[in-house]
């Protein structure tokens, strides 16, 4: 980091703010915020990160950023989110930000068709791209594949898991009743194990482990779930 270069410095409310270095001390930097010229402040060196030269640059994969750090990663996701691009890749990991509203055509049957058989990275980041890669890898490698969905309460894990199920059954299902039954099993499971919390009106109060079995003719579905609160193990087969 040098004098005059754009950097991300700590901000009390926004997390980070863009600024330039005006002086370099032993363990702190003097920063001039971009939005408040002439009003400098001190920031510890280890909390200041290099920024992209082009502040408006957004990328579909965070690995394409010139500087990959906490601040550039957050900024890329934030700017994408403001344009209704809720998904961002970090190589073959997908980051999803909950939009809390329906984004038109994001999960439409046409979008499902677009992602079928496409390699990761050829189309914009999407949970369908991850689902398709898992399915294709299973066929090519002849090995079971796992998709781990993780995040805080209300992040969108349940919804995205349902999109994965819908994608797999629509794209690679049998075209028979079983496909619909797999998707329709969710409201039933949610009726048993979901509850309204302060963070989520439809919060799963159990961890979910969903197995989908494919063979040439039949699609099987196995869902095991474990109660979050009392650790009672319940297995359900549908
Ligand atoms: N991709 C999305 N598009 C639109 N709305 C969404 C999306 N993802 C989540 N939501 C909204 O956010 C709510 C919370 O999401 P969800 O139940 O999936 O969170 P969760 O991570 O499973 O939370 P918990 O751990 O509490 O069960 C959903 O009920 C839905 O209204």
Q: How remote is the CA of residue 154 from the centroid of ligand 1, in Å?
A: 5
Chain center to CA of 227 = 24
Q: Is 41 exposed, middle or buried (0-12, 13-18, 19+ CB in 10 A)?
A: middle
Q: Is the CB of 190 under 6 A from ligand 1?
A: no
- Find the DSSP H helices in 45-176: 70-82, 109-115, 127-141, 157-172
What DSSP character marks residue 118? P
Q: Is the CB of 159 under 6 A from ligand 1?
A: yes
Q: Output the known binding site.
A: 151-158
Task: Output phi, psi for 90, to 5 deg.
Answer: -125, 95
What are the pLDDT tens digits along the chain (238 aa)?
A: 667 788 999 998 989 999 999 989 889 999 999 888 888 999 999 999 999 888 778 999 999 999 999 999 999 999 999 999 999 999 999 999 999 999 999 999 999 999 999 999 999 999 999 999 999 999 899 899 999 999 999 999 999 999 999 999 899 887 777 778 878 888 888 898 899 999 899 999 888 888 888 876 555 555 555 555 444 434 443 3
Q: Is the CB of 62 under 6 A from ligand 1?
A: no
Q: Output the known binding site for ATP.
A: 151-158
Phi-psi region of 20 (alpha: psi -120 to 50; beta: other; left: phi over 0): beta
ipTM: 0.98
107, 158, 195: which to mutate for ligand 1, most atoms within 8 A of CB? 158
> Greatest CA span in the chain, whole angstroms?
70
Q: Is the CB of 106 under 6 A from ligand 1?
A: no
The whole-model pTM stands at: 0.85
- Give the number of C-alpha atoms closer than 13 A to the C-alpha of residue 17, restricted to the C-beta side: 18
125, 200, 225: which to mutate for ligand 1, most atoms within 8 A of CB? 200
């Amino acid at each position: 980091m040098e004098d005059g270069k754009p950097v991300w410095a700590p901000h009390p409310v926004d997390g980070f703010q863009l600024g330039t270095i005006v002086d370099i001390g032993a363990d702190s930097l003097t920063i001039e915020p971009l939005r408040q010229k002439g009003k400098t402040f001190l920031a510890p060196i280890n909390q200041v990160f290099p920024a992209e030269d082009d502040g408006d640059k957004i990328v579909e994969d965070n690995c394409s950023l010139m500087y990959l750090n906490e601040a550039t990663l957050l900024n890329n996701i934030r700017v994408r989110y403001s344009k209704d691009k809720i998904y961002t890749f970090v190589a073959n990991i997908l980051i999803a930000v909950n939009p809390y509203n329906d984004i038109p055509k994001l999960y439409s049957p046409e979008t499902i068709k677009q992602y079928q058989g496409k390699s990761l990275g050829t189309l914009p980041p999407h949970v369908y791209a991850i689902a398709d890669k898992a399915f294709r890898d299973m066929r090519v490698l002849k090995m079971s594949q796992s998709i781990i969905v993780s995040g805080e309460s209300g992040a969108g894990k349940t919804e995205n898991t349902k999109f994965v199920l819908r994608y797999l059954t629509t794209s690679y299902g049998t075209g028979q009743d079983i496909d619909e039954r797999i998707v329709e099993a969710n409201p039933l499971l949610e009726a048993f194990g979901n509850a309204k919390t302060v963070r989520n009106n439809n919060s799963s109060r159990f961890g979910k482990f969903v197995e989908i079995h494919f063979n040439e003719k039949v699609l099987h579905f196995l869902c095991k779930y474990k109660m979050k609160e009392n650790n009672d193990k319940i297995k359900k087969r549908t």
